[in-house]
C-alpha cells in the first residue's frame, strides 16, 4: 500500500489524484488530520485514516501496512517543522514502512539563507539515519509563491519587491504528477532527486515581462530595500517571523539557491512542465 500524508492539501491531493490514475484505489491510503475532509476518497476505495504529525501514535496507525509513505512537508518553519517531521519519520520506522519519500525542495542545505531549506536538509538527515530506503523529492520552488507576491502588482502594475535572483518556478500539478510517477515505480531514486524543475528560471524583472505579454499591460519592477519591505509587511499586519521568512526567499534567490534547472521533471511526467507564463495565464484567467 502507498500512503500519502497531507492528502487534502494543494500538493497531497493532487498527488493522490495522479496516483489513482496509475494504481488501483485499494493500493492507496491517505493520512489526514480530519478523515471527514477525505470522505470522497474513501467513497472511491481509498483507505482513509487519521494521522496528525502532533500525535505520533495516530501516524503509526495511519502508516500500517505501507510499502511506501509519502511525507508531504509541513507548512511550518524551524524547530516546530523538524519536530513534526521527526515524529512522522519515527512513526514510519515503527510501522515497518518499506520506503519513505519526502517532499523536500531544491536548494535544501544546512547553510541555506531560506529557513525551510535548512529544515528540509535536517529532515533529509533524519531519513538518512533510519537506514531505510528513502527518496527526497527536491521540488522546484512553487510558482504559487510568485503569484502571491504578484497579487498587488496585478492591480497596480508595479512589482515592488526586494532584489532577487532567478528562480525555477514550478507548478503543483507537475510536481504531483512526478511524485505519483515515482511512487508507482518504487526505487527509481535513492536519496535526493535532481532538482525537479522546468526548463527556465526567472527573476521578477523577467516575470514582469511575462505578465506584460500575458495581459498586454505595462509592468514596472521596483526594487524595495529589505528593511523597507519588512516595515511595509509589518504595517499590513504580517507577523515579524513571517515577514523575515518572506525576506529570506529573496536573499536566497540573490544567492542563486533556486536557479538550477534539470530535465528530470520532464522525463518523469513525459512532457515539458508548464511554463511560468502558462501558470500565470491560468491563475489570472480564473
What pLDDT score does 27 carry?
96
Residue 186 pLDDT greater than 80, yes or no: no
Q: Sorting pLDDT into bands at 50, 70 and 90, what band is 169? A: very high
Grid coordinates given for 262: 534539470
Report the pLDDT averaged over residues 147-168.
95
Q: Is 53 a residue whose pLDDT tops 90?
A: yes
Q: Hey, where are the domains in the chain? A: 2-139+171-192
Residue 187 binned pLDDT confidence (cut-offs 50, 70, 90): low
Please, which residues bridge with residue 223 across strands?
Answer: 161
185 vs 271, which has greater pLDDT?
271
pLDDT at 234 over 70: yes
Residue 117 confidence (pLDDT) above 70? yes
In CATH, which of 3.40.50.300, 2.102.10.10, 3.40.47.10, 3.40.50.720 is domain 2-139+171-192? 3.40.50.720
Cα 136 → chain centroid: 11
Give Cα 127 distance to the centre of its chain. 18
Amino acid at each position: 500500500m502507498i500512503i500519502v500524508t497531507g492528502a487534502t492539501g494543494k500538493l497531497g491531493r493532487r498527488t493522490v489524484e495522479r496516483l489513482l490514475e496509475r494504481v488501483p484505489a485499494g493500493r492507496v491510503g491517505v493520512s489526514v488530520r480530519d478523515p471527514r475532509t477525505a470522505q470522497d476518497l474513501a467513497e472511491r476505495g481509498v483507505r482513509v485514516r487519521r494521522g496528525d504529525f502532533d500525535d505520533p501514535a495516530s501516524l503509526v496507525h495511519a502508516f500500517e501496512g505501507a510499502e511506501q509513505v509519502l511525507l508531504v512537508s509541513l507548512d511550518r518553519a524551524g524547530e516546530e517543522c523538524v519536530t513534526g517531521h521527526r515524529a512522522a519519520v519515527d512513526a514510519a520506522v515503527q510501522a515497518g514502512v518499506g520506503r519513505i519519500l519526502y517532499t523536500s525542495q531544491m536548494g535544501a542545505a544546512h547553510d541555506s539563507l531560506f529557513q525551510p531549506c535548512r529544515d528540509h536538509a535536517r529532515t533529509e538527515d533524519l531519513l538518512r539515519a533510519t537506514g531505510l530506503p528513502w527518496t527526497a523529492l527536491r521540488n522546484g520552488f512553487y510558482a504559487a509563491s510568485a503569484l502571491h507576491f504578484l497579487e498587488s502588482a496585478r492591480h497596480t502594475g508595479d512589482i515592488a519587491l526586494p532584489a532577487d535572483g532567478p528562480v525555477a518556478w514550478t507548478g503543483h500539478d507537475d510536481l504531483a504528477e512526478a511524485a505519483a510517477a515515482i511512487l508507482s515505480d518504487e526505487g527509481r531514486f535513492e536519496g535526493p532527486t535532481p532538482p525537479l524543475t522546468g526548463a527556465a528560471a526567472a527573476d521578477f524583472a523577467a516575470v514582469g515581462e511575462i505578465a506584460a505579454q500575458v495581459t498586454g499591460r505595462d509592468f514596472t519592477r521596483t526594487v524595495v530595500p529589505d528593511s523597507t519591505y519588512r516595515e511595509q509587511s509589518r504595517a499590513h499586519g504580517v507577523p515579524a517571523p513571517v515577514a523575515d521568512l518572506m525576506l529570506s526567499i529573496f536573499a536566497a534567490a540573490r544567492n542563486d539557491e533556486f536557479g538550477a534547472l534539470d530535465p528530470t521533471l520532464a522525463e518523469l511526467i513525459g512532457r515539458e512542465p508548464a511554463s511560468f507564463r502558462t501558470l500565470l495565464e491560468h491563475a489570472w484567467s480564473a
